A and B are shown apart, each in its own frame.
Chain A
């Protein structure tokens, strides 16, 4: 972890295809925020938003990376992957729309609520994506 100019930076690897580990990164971030004394309602927002983005990386992109930056005003989480990219971001943001494979739906995931949930809880959401190259989801929550 790095601390410079009062910004905490931490990176996590999101393991590919390992559902038992899915959510570990957001769990660690939740714990960090609790140790910093952040308001529990805000911690809940961050952890749900980050969890959904993390799960997306596992389901669709064979894993990725989470980079987290915390300063006294906000937390910025960037979840990036080298997966297939999102062809139509507007469509992906629709509730109920999902491109998850059947095997994943059978596990109870892929309900199509991931991106809509992130938008609901994050204060700022920025998605950069290129088909065939990868996706980067930037979530900002004001502390």
Chain B
């Protein structure tokens, strides 16, 4: 799949060319051109900030339509634990999971369960101790991609274990093929997702060559279907489908992944701009005594994802309820050791040097100097009228040949004024042959 596939895209009809998204993008990946926002593919990390902030709802994430499950004979749903926070009318986890079977899925397997397996493997790794401290969680694909682009020296710190989503898909497919004799190509596994970055990970994974997941359905798209069916299921009809314990469900919340590790020596940060400040500290070697960093691009963690329906804080309270229910229930959360999976990544995560001004160092030096000169000449208002997020970005665009100085409204106005002044000067100077004074001119014309 194209390495530049992005699930975050623009609905051009709704875009007004305003400055909201260009200013919020953490990698300055958006420019307004010809009145519409354009995403620079190499810079986009699919964090979904632009989706969140667009007042005209012009930014959206491409996920698969629900009808895609009909392409497969055996339809499996793997919901992210975020799903538990979304429904007021869901009495219990079983109630919600049963609802999935009522809307068309044949089987449902909680990603929360796979998350517990990943937590276990992480615990083992931390116990062994031979890793570069601190370990940075790879649960949030936007953060991993962000590190590739802006903090490549931290790539070595990333915990290179498979994500719960991929593991869930692998386990389900293995179980169904072995135990139920269903042919692999008949099985369609669909991740029910709060997250644009995860949808991209399915089409363009970095952990391996190809994802085991067949499609991503956003929580937004599936919400009404589930809501309608929840009311129809009474308590007796609920099936015993829950496998995940409270540690897995808690992953939906910021800090949940860290708490599952049983170590106090962690740091959990959410919200991409907060993540950036922590990564800066990390790069300055200021966090050497922390074992584990959980960094999530969305404020509040996955519960705050751009494809969720419920308000983040309402969802947080609800998740707590489900976590408490799981603690009390007799769910056998002993890990199923029948599947001994190798969770290490087979793919490589590499530095994406988007900041480089030129391949040739000396040319880059000249461009850098020119950039500074241009920047000093710009008004420094960061108004966004030129389509770039700030004046420095415009200076960089100019030096890269992607923009010109007159894109700046203020520079253009200056030029107009200069031209006007020149024209006034010329207007005043007539060649000697025609240079009669005004009074004489009038007489001659009468």
Contact = CB atoms under 8 A, between A and B. Distances in A.
Contacts of A72: 361-362, 365
B365 A51 contact: no
Interface residues of A, number: 25
A6 B365 contact: yes
B366 A3 contact: yes
B283 interface: yes
Given A8-B368, A37-B356, A40-B351, A47 B361 contact: no
B358 interface: yes
Interface string B358-370: 1101101111110
Contacts of B357: 35-37
Contacts of B366: 3
Contacts of B17: none
Given A35-B364, A37-B364, A3 B359 contact: no
B28 to A, nearest CB: 12
B338 interface: no
Most A CB contacts (10 A, CB to CB) among B283, B351, B396 go to B283
A13 interface: no
A51 B153 contact: no
B152 A40 contact: yes
Interface residues of B, number: 25
A23 interface: yes
A32 B368 contact: yes
Contacts of B35: none
A79 interface: no
Nearest to B150: A34
Given A40-B153, A44-B153, A117 B364 contact: no
The A interface is mostly helix, strand or loop, or mixed, namely: helix
A41 interface: yes
Nearest to A72: B361
Contacts of B365: 3, 6, 8, 36, 70, 72
Nearest to A117: B285
A1 interface: yes
Contacts of A137: none
A27 B283 CA distance: 11
Interface in A75-90: none
Contacts of A35: 355-357, 364, 367-368, 371, 396
A43 interface: yes
Interface of A: 1-3, 6, 8, 23, 26-27, 31-32, 34-37, 40-41, 43-44, 47-48, 51, 70, 72, 117, 143
Given A35-B367, A37-B355, 19 more contacts: A1-B372, A1-B373, A2-B369, A3-B366, A3-B369, A6-B365, A8-B365, A8-B368, A26-B284, A27-B280, A34-B353, A35-B357, A35-B364, A35-B368, A36-B364, A36-B365, A37-B356, A37-B364, A47-B284
19 contacts: A1-B369, A8-B369, A26-B284, A27-B280, A35-B355, A35-B356, A35-B357, A36-B356, A36-B368, A37-B355, A37-B356, A40-B152, A40-B153, A44-B153, A47-B284, A48-B284, A51-B284, A117-B285, A143-B361
